[in-house]
Amino acid sequence: MACRISELVIDAADPDRLAEFWSKVLGYVELGREDDGSIEIGPPGAGFGGPQPTLVLSPSSDPRTGKLRLHIDVNATDRDQDAELERLLALGARPADVGQVGTESWHVLADPEGNEFCLLRTRLQPL
């Protein structure tokens, strides 16, 4: 038997803001809120335990130090990489420099709180 990733938890200074951003990026919806201010988002109609992991945006006032040790990679499903890059930038992502040399086939971006993620070139089929 193996495990699979059911949810990813991201510390957030502003969980509402990050939930809105990542919901638009991934086509997710809000699944629930906890008393501690955490917000869980996930695929509509599937939620926790579905084929894709949910994201939990957990409130934290701890300052981030250095580069993240784990980041999210995303792939467009209905447009090419350049068009998806434009969409992500319009949603509030911004280019990030983590030491890339400029010949990579991916774009390194940061969400509104500075968490790095990559937009990969390959277009994936929607689930």
Beta bridge partners of 34: none
User: How does pLDDT run across 68-90, given as a tens digit for each residue?
Assistant: 788 899 999 999 999 999 999 99
The CATH code that applies to domain 70-127 is 3.10.180.10
User: How does pLDDT run across 100-119, given as a tens digit for each residue?
Assistant: 898 999 999 999 999 999 99
Angle 115-38-62 from CA coordinates, rounded to 5°: 50
Domain spanning 1-60, CATH class: alpha beta
**Domain residue ranges in the chain:** 1-60, 70-127
Average pLDDT estimate for 12-17: 96
